């Protein structure tokens, strides 16, 4: 395996061309444990694909299957190039959220940055999915616990609820995050971004991810935040989203409607485990 991270959003990567794992959910739960395992937000298998250059098969730390991860897919790009699985600087990766196109920035034979076409956001309440109706869910009231919040919903291949507030650094996200994640209006649970607007070109966010808890970064979440911020007239169509683990540059193209995310991908270490799954 290879441990990698994008802005601190860390995953264990397994070469599915060579390694065979029968119980991938169990592997994700066991290996992701930060005290008794390798430690990660989940596990990603890089597999052959008959639809694209590679397939990204992703599991959260709780063993649940995930559709897509923006930080994770950048690391897939670095893995396949740096380890010689491809010599292309533009690749296509199959995910449960569709095929994503990635442009690799290469210096001295190594990838040091990746731009991902995250696709066109889905804004319909039913397709988030949620019990909200209408073509868009923008700044709508939602009671969570005993308090009312205003939420904007965006699906970037996986579901996101964006909430704007002040002083997110002092937020007790461990208490509030699970209440959003498991709220009855979200039948497939929800990723929640708590966002503080700095100015028209920069926002800060913290994220509570389904099946993983708070992570240091979330690429689909940062993309969803940019879309929500444009819809709420809080930022320009290009902005920096500052996460606990670093910054991502996000652009929502006005003509194509596609969202583009640019950020780093880093290898932490390679290793082997004697566990059988």
Reported as a single tens digit per residue, the pLDDT across 203-239 is: 999 999 999 999 999 999 999 999 999 999 999 999 9
Catalytic residue among 28, 38, 56, 69: 69
Alpha-carbon span 119 to 23, nearest angstrom:
31
How far lies 272's CA from each of 37, 116, 269, in Å? 12, 29, 10
Given 12, 93, 190, 218, the catalytic residue: 218
pLDDT for position 42: 97
Q: For this structure, is 75 an active site residue?
A: no
Q: pLDDT at position 40, please?
A: 97
> Tell me, what's the pLDDT at 186?
98
Residue in 63, 42, 57, 67 with CA at minimum distance from that of residue 215? 42
pLDDT tens digit string along 162-211? 999 999 999 999 999 999 999 999 999 999 999 999 999 999 999 999 99
pLDDT band with cut points at 50, 70 and 90 for residue 56: very high
Q: What is the pLDDT of residues 83-109, one digit of tens each?
A: 999 999 999 999 999 999 999 999 999
Average pLDDT over residues 104-119: 96
More confident residue, 82 or 274: 82
210: left (phi over 0), alpha (psi -120 to 50) or beta: beta
Which distant-in-sequence residues (6+ apart) come within 8 Å of 143 by Cβ? 149
CB 103 within 8 A of CB 63: no
pTM of the model: 0.90
How big is the chain by its Cα radius of gyration, in Å? 18
Q: How confident is the model at residue 275 (pLDDT cuts 50, 70, 90)?
A: confident
Give backbone dihedrals phi and psi of 109, rounded to 5 degrees, phi first.
80, 5
Question: What is the structure's pLDDT at 76?
Answer: 98
């Amino acid at each position: 395996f290879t441990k990698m991270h994008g802005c601190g959003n860390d995953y264990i990567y397994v070469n599915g061309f060579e390694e065979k794992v029968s119980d991938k959910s169990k592997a994700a739960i066991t290996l992701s444990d930060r005290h008794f395992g390798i430690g990660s937000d989940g596990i990603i298998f890089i597999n052959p694909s008959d639809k694209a250059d590679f397939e990204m098969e992703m599991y959260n730390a709780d063993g649940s299957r995930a559709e897509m991860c923006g930080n994770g897919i950048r690391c897939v790009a670095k893995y396949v190039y740096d380890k010689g699985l491809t010599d292309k600087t533009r690749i296509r990766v199959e995910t449960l959220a569709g095929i994503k196109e990635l442009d690799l920035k290469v210096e001295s034979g190594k990838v040091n940055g990746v731009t991902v076409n995250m696709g066109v956001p889905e804004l319909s309440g039913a397709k988030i999915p949620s019990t909200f109706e209408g073509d868009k869910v923008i700044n709508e009231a939602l009671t969570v616990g005993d308090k009312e919040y205003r939420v904007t919903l965006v699906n970037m291949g996986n579901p996101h609820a964006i909430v704007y507030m002040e002083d997110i650094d002092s937020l007790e996200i461990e208490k509030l995050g699970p209440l959003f994640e498991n709220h009855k209006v979200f039948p497939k649970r929800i990723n929640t971004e708590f966002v503080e607007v700095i100015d028209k070109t920069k926002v800060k966010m913290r994220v509570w991810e389904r099946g993983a808890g708070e992570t240091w970064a979330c690429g689909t979440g940062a993309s969803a935040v940019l879309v929500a911020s444009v819809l709420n007239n809080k930022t320009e169509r290009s902005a920096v989203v500052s996460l606990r683990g670093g910054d991502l540059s996000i652009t929502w193209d006005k003509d194509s409607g596609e969202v583009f995310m640019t950020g780093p991908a880093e290898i932490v270490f390679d290793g082997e485990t004697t566990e059988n799954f």
